[in-house]
Amino acid sequence: MKTLTGAEIVIECLKEQGVDTVFGYPGGAILNIYDALYKHKDEITHILTSHEQGASHAADGYARATGKVGVCMATSGPGATNLVTGIATANLDSIPMVAITCNVTTGLLGKDSFQEIDILGVTMPITKYNFIVKDVTKLADVIRRAFVIAKSGRPGPVLVDITKDVTAAACEYEPKEPQPIERETELIREEDMEKAIEMIKAARKPFIFVGGGAVASDAANELSAFAHKIQAPVGDSLMGKGAFDGTDVLYTGMIGMHGTKTSNLGVAECDLLIVVGARFSDRVVGDPNHFATNAKILHIDIDPAEINKNIQTDASIIGDVKIILRKLNARLDPMNHDEWLSHIERLKDMYPLRYNKEVLTGPYIMEEIYKVTGGDAIICTDVGQHQMWAAQYYKYKRPRQLLTSGGLGTMGYGLGAAIGAKMGCKDKTVINIAGDGCFRMNMNEIATATRYNIPVIEVVFNNHVLGMVRQWQTLFYGKRYSQTELYDQMDFVKVAEGMGAKAYRITKKEDVEPVLREAISLNIPVMIECQIGSDDKVFPMVPAGKPIEEAFDEIDLRIE
């Protein structure tokens, strides 16, 4: 046992938890921690982002790509509030993250002191748990508890706010081994298992809907075995991408607003919908009164609060998805649903994803990225049309390949997340797909990538508009393009080069492949601007609040 300052205890606790990388931005209140971090820079790498929001997204991306807890740091006041969007993003997508902030000294709390903010109050609705530490003797236990909470059960972000005097105070510190995280099984009831097995055996047209919970529980192997054992087609949510191999013959594509017609019709026509780690988001469900109306619904999820929250189910099993699937696999015999699978295959043939192959488009670029990377890259995205194209046209073969803001829909998420992902997975090609609107929100993080020579590739789909909002304005608002046109003097290539990156501009299809190959081979930060049409749209599409089987595409619009 030794005596350490609070700042030194923070660093020792991070080392205890196996933290090798943190993302942050210093300031007055957190100076003691940064001073202690300086003394341990050979053990913990600190990435100074261009903005605290970039730090929170980087910690999030690190967590999504590795499955470990991501860590970010910021000072008091505006430093802490700049983390808020990133914390909220992680919260809605159930990402394990610990955000460490420092506040004014204990005696100045509640006095509107310089750079004081009640960050505990601000973040209470958007964290799994949060703490303020005013006693140095409690600091180590709080940090250890924060990591346990962040990664246990349904993961999520935890904030630890520490007053500056606590970081300077000293107390005895005793190292401890990290608490092991046990998979949650106590709510898996035998009667629930029996009912589920009975429903699965009775089904003639089962369909599996996979969400992010299957990724969080590392259940890919069990899910694949389950789908093939019961011979059921599989669709996924945006957050579930990669939990089931996108090249598998049973895979039907994404479900929901921009899902495939095959998946949406599969949900509408099935007699049993098996939902694995998904929360029935409104973007998946559409009209909740007309969702899977021909089916019984079996919901498997770790969080009891999700059962019957958005959609009424017929049965549920609560617990860790990996364990539940493993138990089901052990008790089910192989099944045959050839007639149902043949019908699904006919739907795939009738309703393939389509786009204009004559010109440079987002779908074409995504297919080229898939080809050049062999389907092995980590793909990050911002939010909008490019996000949907990345979900539709890149085949994700394994979990943790697609990092994207699903619940909050955070523009500006992707580049920070890509930096975090690359720091966590240095052997993988990491590509962020952005729109020009999103790039304006996070382009400053190019400077972070070049500062540390983090070789991420930023691909900007520049259509000179806020594409997804414009798509809605075109289809539903009489082409009244209010504040969605971005025709201005911005030169993305010069901006990226000014921050030290290699930059390219692509205007025709034949340049995509050679530029991508060169960008990957350079192994430095690269920005690739791809100029595409302002009126390109994401199809299929379900109007908000409509049944998902009413998905339409350009051919349907022409018929009308």
What would the pLDDT profile of 53-107 be if each residue is shown by its tens digit? 999 999 999 999 999 999 999 999 999 999 999 999 999 999 999 999 999 999 9
Tell me: pLDDT of 560 over 80.
no
Residue 254 pLDDT? 98
For residue 217, give both structure tokens.
Answer: 């529980």
Torsion, Cα of 411, 57, 414, 446 (10° steps)? 110
Using the 8-state DSSP alphabet, how is residue 499 labeled?
Answer: T
Residue 473 Rama label (left phi>0; alpha psi -120 to 50; beta): alpha
How distant is the alpha carbon of residue 2 from its chain centre?
40
Instruction: Please indicate whether residue 476 is annotated as part of the active site.
Output: no
What CATH number should be reported for the domain whose range is 190-350? 3.40.50.1220
**Is residue 544 very low, low, confident or very high in pLDDT (cuts 50, 70, 90)?**
confident
Q: Catalytic: which of 39, 114, 176, 179? A: 114
Residue 559 pLDDT? 63
Q: Which of 222-231, 493-502, 536-545 has the lowest mean pLDDT?
A: 536-545
For residue 56, give both structure tokens.
Answer: 């929170």
How distant is the alpha carbon of residue 501 from its chain centre?
25
The CA distance from 222 to 213, in Å, is 13
**Is residue 548 very low, low, confident or very high in pLDDT (cuts 50, 70, 90)?**
very high
More confident residue, 350 or 556: 350
- Pick the closest to residue 530 from 540, 515, 541, 517 (CA basis): 515
Q: Catalytic: which of 8, 12, 52, 445? A: 52
Q: Catalytic: which of 128, 164, 322, 422? A: 164
Q: Does domain 362-543 have CATH number 3.20.10.10?
A: no
Q: Catalytic: which of 15, 115, 138, 490? A: 115
Instruction: Please indicate whether residue 468 is annotated as part of the active site.
Output: yes
Pick the CATH number of 2-173 from 1.20.140.10, 3.40.50.970, 3.40.50.720, 3.40.50.11890: 3.40.50.970
Residue 369 pLDDT? 98
Q: By the 8 A CB rule, do 259 and 361 touch?
A: no
Q: Catalytic: which of 254, 257, 388, 468? A: 468
- Pick the closest to residue 529 from 511, 546, 555 (CA basis): 511
Stated as kind and residue range, the H or E segment containing 23 is: strand 21-25
How far apart are the two ends of the chain, measured CA to CA in Å?
Answer: 76
- The structure's pTM equals 0.97
Tell me: pLDDT of 409 over 60.
yes
Residue 558 pLDDT? 73
DSSP line for 153-199? SS--EEEEEEEHHHHH-EEEE---PPPP-PPP-TT--HHHHHHHHHH
Tell me: pLDDT of 557 over 90.
no
**pLDDT (mean) for 368-374:** 98
How distant is the alpha carbon of residue 51 from its chain centre?
20
Instruction: Please indicate whether residue 52 is annotated as part of the active site.
Output: yes
**pLDDT (mean) for 117-144:** 98
Instruction: Please indicate whether residue 164 is annotated as part of the active site.
Output: yes
Instruction: Please indicate whether residue 387 is annotated as part of the active site.
Output: no
The CA distance from 467 to 54, in Å, is 23
Task: Tell me the average pLDDT of the chain.
Answer: 97
Domain boundaries, the chain: 2-173, 190-350, 362-543
